[in-house]
């Protein structure tokens, strides 16, 4: 259950009633924008002027707080879809991260795998998050266990949250996530013993078709996100390419072929809006610079590598900073993609903007 559902009446488009519907329709007509209305106690119409003042923001930031001039506690959020992505954790996930997510309240949280090397306590903490979560496990998650038993334990604990070759979708927020091949170590196509033990022998063609097939089930009007551990081939062969092999000469494209085939097939019907992955850590071997972490192709699909490792660091004052990749959507298109470093309090300390859509590309507001 989403945290906003605990203590608010949450009304999404399509379920308005009574006066609330009338107010929402008025606001919707004025702003011509998707509307999320959250009401705490009483409500009125005094907030309209304030909403109109916020029109320029185009819903990129949700607005929260009391708005009624008569002291009532009307809370309205005008928002685009906001998705947080936790790159390879490698054990860096704890209570402070859960609290940070609680403060930021993204609409969904995606994990690209390499949670740890099989730490079941960490997996359990992910299952206790109270917002929409999707996970695709990484090559490290099998630990040293080649039998697949440790991997299977984590898959069982995650339940529906783990979505290999499968569509995971929510209507509120309207978001479709398709998982790619789990536990990939990149390099084209290779199945580890543990993966074969759990999922059986799988061919590259099967994997590609399963990914593309899951994507075909996604509602066409919802943002379509492909969640992978390793990114696809085709994003470059340099050491600093989003999936470039940096640890060994020659530097080559180390992406997944089956994912590239699936994405290519999807373009015949509906291209992915966002492909998010990890595995190839941002810092290059030998501290030889930083990886390119974003690419947008000519069809508008955004590719982002979220693997900032370690994802928890210290600033110059020795205070902790937590990394999240952050994506906001306007309609089905990504309007903002950035790497963000937060203090545990929720304060945004630093942001590296990777993509911001031109106003003309955004849904009308
Ligand atoms: Fe990793």
Residues 173, 56 within the same domain: no
In a domain, 154, yes or no: yes
Please check whether residue 1 lies inside any domain of the structure.
no
pLDDT of residue 21: 34
Interval 28-73: pLDDT, tens? 333 333 333 333 333 333 333 333 233 233 333 333 333 333 333 3
Total number of domains in the chain: 2
Question: Which CATH number does the domain housing residue 193 bear?
Answer: 3.60.21.10
Q: How far is the CA of 229 from the centre of ligand 1 (A)?
A: 8
Kindly state whether residue 199 falls inside one of the protein's structural domains: yes
Q: Which of 78, 112, 134 is the last residue of a domain?
A: 78
pLDDT, tens digit (0-9, with 9 covering 90-100), for 215-234: 999 999 999 999 999 999 99
**Do 160 and 73 lie in a common domain?**
no
Spacing, Cα 230 to ligand 1 middle (Å): 9
If asked whether residues 90 and 109 sit together in one domain, one would say yes
pLDDT digits (tens, 9 = 90+) for 112-156: 999 999 999 999 999 999 999 999 999 999 999 999 999 999 999
| Residue 285 pLDDT greater than 90, yes or no | yes
Q: Is 338 a member of any domain?
A: yes
Question: Could you tell me if 164 and 238 lie in one domain?
Answer: yes
So what's the pLDDT on residue 161?
98
Let me know if residue 3 belongs to a domain. Answer: no
Question: How far, in Å, from the CA of 35 to the mean position of ligand 1?
Answer: 38
Of 78, 94, 127, the last residue of a domain is 78
Position 363 confidence tier, pLDDT thresholds 50, 70, 90: low
Instruction: Give the pLDDT of residue 287.
Output: 85
Q: What is the pTM of this model?
A: 0.80
**67 and 85 both lie in a single domain:** no
219 and 331 co-located in one domain: yes
CA of 282 to the centre of ligand 1 (A): 10
Residue 45 belongs to some domain of the structure? yes
Alpha-carbon distance of 47 to 45, in angstroms, equals 5
Ligand 1 ion: residues within 5 Å (CB): 88, 114
Answer yes or no: do 125 and 221 share one domain. yes
The CA 140 to ligand 1 mean position distance, Å, reads 7
Q: Within a domain: residue 109? A: yes
Q: Are residues 15 and 121 in the same domain?
A: no
Q: Which of 78, 95, 117 is the last residue of a domain?
A: 78
Predicted confidence (pLDDT) per residue in 180-228, tens digit: 999 999 999 999 999 999 999 999 999 999 999 999 999 999 999 999 9
Per-residue confidence (pLDDT) for residue 115, from 0 to 100? 98
What separation in Å is there between the alpha carbon of 279 and the centre of ligand 1? 4
Return the minimum-mean-pLDDT range out of 27-31, 277-281, 327-331.
Answer: 27-31
The 3-class SS string of the chain reads: CCCHHHHCEEECCCCCCHHHHHHHHHHHHHHCCCCEEEECCCCCCCCHHHHHHCHHHCCCCCCCCCCCCCCCCEEEECCCEEEEEECCCCCCCCHHHHHHHHHHCCCEEEECCCCCCCCHHHHHHHHCCCCCEEECCCHHHHCCCCCCHHHHHHHHHHHHHECCCCEEEECCCCEEEEECCCCCCCCECCCCHHHHHHHCCCCHHHHHHHHHHHHHCCCCCCCEEEECCCCECCCCCCCCCCCECCCCCCCCECCEHHHHHHHHHHCCCCCCCEEEECCCCCECHHHCCECCCEEECCCCCEEEECCCCCCEEECCCCCEEEEEEEEEEECCEEEEEEEEEECCCCCEEEEEEEEECCHHHCCCC
Residues 74 and 134 in one domain: no
User: 166 and 227 in one domain?
Assistant: yes
* Mean pLDDT over the full length of the chain: 82
- Domain interval for residue 64: 9-78
Do 27 and 104 sit in the same domain of this protein?
A: no
Residues 150 and 224 in one domain: yes
Q: How far is the CA of 74 from the centre of ligand 1 (A)?
A: 44
């Amino acid at each position: 259950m989403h945290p906003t559902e605990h203590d608010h009446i949450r009304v999404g488009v399509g379920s308005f009633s009574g006066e609330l519907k009338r107010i929402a329709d008025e606001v919707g007509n004025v702003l011509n924008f998707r509307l999320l209305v959250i009401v705490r106690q009483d409500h009125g119409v005094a907030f309209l002027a304030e909403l109109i003042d916020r029109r320029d923001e185009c819903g990129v930031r949700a607005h929260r707080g009391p708005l009624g001039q008569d002291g009532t506690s009307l809370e309205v959020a005008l928002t685009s879809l906001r998705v947080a992505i936790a790159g390879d954790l490698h054990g860096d996930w704890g209570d402070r991260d859960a609290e940070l997510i609680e403060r930021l309240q993204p609409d969904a949280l995606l994990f690209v795998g390499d949670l740890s090397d099989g730490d079941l306590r960490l997996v359990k903490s992910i299952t206790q998050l109270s917002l929409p979560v999707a996970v695709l496990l990484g090559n490290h998650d099998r630990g040293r266990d080649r039998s697949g038993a440790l991997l299977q334990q984590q898959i069982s604990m995650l339940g529906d949250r783990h979505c290999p070759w499968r569509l995971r979708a929510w209507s509120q927020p309207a978001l479709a996530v398709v998982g790619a091949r789990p536990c990939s170590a990149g390099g084209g196509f290779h199945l580890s013993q543990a993966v074969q033990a759990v999922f059986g022998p799988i061919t590259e063609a099967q994997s590609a078709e399963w990914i593309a097939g899951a994507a075909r089930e996604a509602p066409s009007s919802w943002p379509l996100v492909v969640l992978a551990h390793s990114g696809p081939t085709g994003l470059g062969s340099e050491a600093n390419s989003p999936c470039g092999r940096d640890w060994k000469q020659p530097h080559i494209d180390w992406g997944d072929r089956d994912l590239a085939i699936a994405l290519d097939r999807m373009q015949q019907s509906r291209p992915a809006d966002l492909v998010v992955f990890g595995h190839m850590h941002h810092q290059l071997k030998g501290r030889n610079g930083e990886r390119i972490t974003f690419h947008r192709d000519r069809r508008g699909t955004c590719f982002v590598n979220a693997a900032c490792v370690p994802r928890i660091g210290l600033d110059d004052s020795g205070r902790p900073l937590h990394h999240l990749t952050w994506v906001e959507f306007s309609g089905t298109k990504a309007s903002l993609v950035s790497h963000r470093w937060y203090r545990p309090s929720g304060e945004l300390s630093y942001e590296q903007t990777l993509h911001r859509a031109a106003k003309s590309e955004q849904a009308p507001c």
